[in-house]
Amino acid sequence: MDRAVPRSVEAVDEARQWGRLMELARIGAIPGDGVNRQALTALDREARRLLIGWAEAAGATVTVDAAANLWLRREGTDPGAAPVLTGSHMDSQPAGGRFDGIYGVVAGLEVLSALHQSGTVTRRPIEVVAWTNEEGSRFAPGCMGSMAWSGFRPVESFAGIADADGVRFGDALAEHLAAEADIPRRPLGFAPGAAPHAYIEAHIEQGPRLEAEGLEIGVVTGIQGSRWFEVTVSGDSAHAGTTPVSLRRDAVQDALRALNALNDAMHDPADVLRFTVGRIAVSPNSSNSVADMVRFSIDLRHPDAAVLGPRGDAIAGVVQAALRNCTATVAETFSAAPTEFDPGVVAAVEGAAAALECRHALMPSGAFHDAQFVSRVAPAGMVFVPSRAGISHNPAEYTAPAQLAAGTRVLAKALLDLAA
Ligand code: HGY
Ligand code: MN
Ligand code: MN
């Protein structure tokens, strides 16, 4: 490990990076310093155009693939060498913050800018990628761009998924690609035997540990497993005033019975299992009509597949047993096994943090990331920077400029070592 700090790492510019993040945060800004920038919307495209302008000024070539993943490439001396990748996502939660996802894309861009500014040329090409729809809040599930790119699921399999307004993913993707028709295309995925040499994603921790332990950098060892389900409880709509309870097939009441049963079934005294119902839709959603349909989401996570498997597999039976007079369907829409990152990439990140004398620790990720799908086809790892009070998926999400710059310098050093 070269312990000297390369000029390109020193060229990482804290103010330039912060300025870009704050300019992007204005696109989809919501009260409380938050951001709502949903995937494949005009806001998403506006942010991408801003990023593309900066990337071209840094000498990168820009391409888009069939899943609308956006690629910023800096050539190396050996153009045929497998590239080193970095990046993250640009879409946000509906009540999102200014850093989740977008920090990793801007950090990758900052590395390209620093390499360009310092005239540093690496042997391997370096590519920054902005993955499509990581959050899964407009179109569920998340990580569609990285799942399609890694071959985990074909992009066509998402086409029929509709957002809250009934817009199908396939149509939103087609509209998006048409709006970016001026950007050169690249094939989705990679040729056999031409997988990237390595991938490192910089991201905010979205948890309290780094701040609580006074650490600057998280060297991420892996990502806990996650499974998403969609539960639909079906009854009959009826008049709230005239229909006796004994004759009702009330989807709200049976959904409540199912939720209570699920809470009991998913209880974990060690508080490691994460069971979340974040979205509930009621039809016809009228105060004086008995509900004929309730649809709710389940997000289930655990670091151990031996726990996540059985607990997730039990969900359908728990729901069915809880119903009194409605019917229900339970569909699994997302399943990402627990991920262990590549030891070589983890060592590159840890070595970079040590070389730059950053206080760091090895740690797993509670949040999922596109890196979990990239890691199935290429050696992957992540760099975390602290989140104030561990807050994320909330407008109050915050990381200081100097903390973000430290993360980007570690990213730059690790990428340089891997691209040598
Ligand atoms: O849900 C997640 O873990 C990620 O932040 N989208
Ligand atoms: Mn994220
Ligand atoms: Mn997120």
What DSSP assignment string belongs to 272-333? -SEEE---EEEES--TTEE-SEEEEEEEEEES-HHHHHHHHHTHHHHHHHH-SS-EEEEEEE
Q: Is the CB of 368 under 6 A from ligand 1?
A: yes
- Atom number in ligand 1 closest to CA 392: 5
What's the CA-to-centroid distance between 376 and ligand 2, angstroms?
18
For ligand 1, atom 3, which residue shows the shortest CA distance? 367
Phi, psi of 310 (to 5 degrees): -60, -40
Residue in 43, 35, 51 with CA at minimum distance from that of residue 107:
51
Whole-number Å distance, alpha carbon 207 to ligand 1 midpoint, is: 12
Q: How far apart are CA 274 and CA 303, in angstroms?
A: 10
| Nearest to 51, CA basis, from 133, 160, 129 | 129
Task: Report how far apart, in Å, the C-alpha atoms of 309 and of each of 124, 296, 338, 344 are.
Answer: 39, 20, 11, 28
- CA of residue 77 to ligand 2 center, whole Å: 32
How far from 134 is each of 38, 138, 140, CA to CA, in Å? 10, 10, 9
Distance 88 CA to ligand 3 centre (A): 10
Query: Which of these, 82, 343, 53, 34, lies nearest to 193 by C-alpha position?
Result: 82
Say which residues have a Cβ less than 8 Å from residue 354's Cβ, sequence separation at least 6.
Answer: 1, 360
Residue spans in the chain of domains classed CATH 3.40.630.10: 7-224+338-419
The highest-level CATH class for domain 7-224+338-419 is alpha beta
Q: Could you give the CA distance from residue 54 to residue 278 in angstroms, rounded to a whole number? A: 36
In angstroms, the CA 91 to CA 139 distance is 11
Residue 314: what are its φ and ψ, rounded to 5°?
-80, -15
For residue 89, the ligand 1 atom closest to its alpha carbon is: 6
Query: Beta strands of 67-204 (E only): which ranges?
Result: 70-74, 84-89, 126-131, 198-204
- Cβ atoms 317, 272 nearer than 8 A: no
Atom in ligand 1 nearest the alpha carbon of residue 100? 5
What atom in ligand 1 is closest to the CA of residue 393?
5
Q: What's the confidence (pLDDT) of residue 65?
A: 98
* The two structure tokens encoding residue 226: 């996650």
Residue 125 Cα to ligand 1 middle (Å): 29
The residue to mutate among 90, 99, 206, having the most atoms of ligand 1 within 8 angstroms of its beta carbon, is 206
Name all contacts of 268-272 with Cβ < 8 Å and 24+ positions apart: 272/302, 272/303, 272/307
Closest CA to 232 of 276, 294, 278: 294
20, two tokens? 């870009």
Residues 43, 36: Cα–Cα separation, whole Å: 9
Residues of the chain with pLDDT under 70: 1-3
Q: What is the CATH number of domain 225-336?
A: 3.30.70.360
CB atoms within 10 A of CB 304: 12
Ligand nearest to the CA of 96: 3
Residues of the chain within CATH 3.30.70.360 domain(s) are: 225-336
In b/e form, how buried is each residue of 232-261, taking b as 16+ CB within 10 angstroms?
A: bbbbbbbeeeebeeeebbbbbbbbebbbeb
| β-pair type (84-89, 126-131) | parallel
Ligand 1 atom closest to the CA of 366, numbered from 1: 3
Task: Using the atom order of ligand 1, give the atom closest to the CA of residue 367.
Answer: 3
Pocket test for ligand 1, best of 369, 370, 382 (most atoms within 8 A of CB): 369
Task: Characterize the bridge pairing of strands 274-276 and 293-302.
Answer: antiparallel
Cβ 99 under 6 angstroms from ligand 1: no
Q: Is residue 61 within a helix (H) or strand (E), and if so which, with residue range?
A: strand 61-64
What does DSSP assign to residue 389?
G
Ligand 3: centre distance to CA 117 (Å)? 31
Neighbours of 62 (CB within 10 A): 19
Whole-number pLDDT of residue 1: 41
| Ligand 1 neighbourhood includes 142 CB (under 6 angstroms) | yes
First to last CA, the chain: 11
Which residue among 92, 204, 393, 397 is best mutated to probe the pocket of ligand 1, counting the most ligand atoms within 8 A of its Cβ? 393
Question: Ligand 1 pocket: which of 38, 99, 135 to mutate (most atoms <8 Å of CB)?
Answer: 135
Atom nearest to 226 CA in ligand 1: 3
394 lines ligand 1 (CB under 6 A): no
CB 54 within 8 A of CB 109: yes
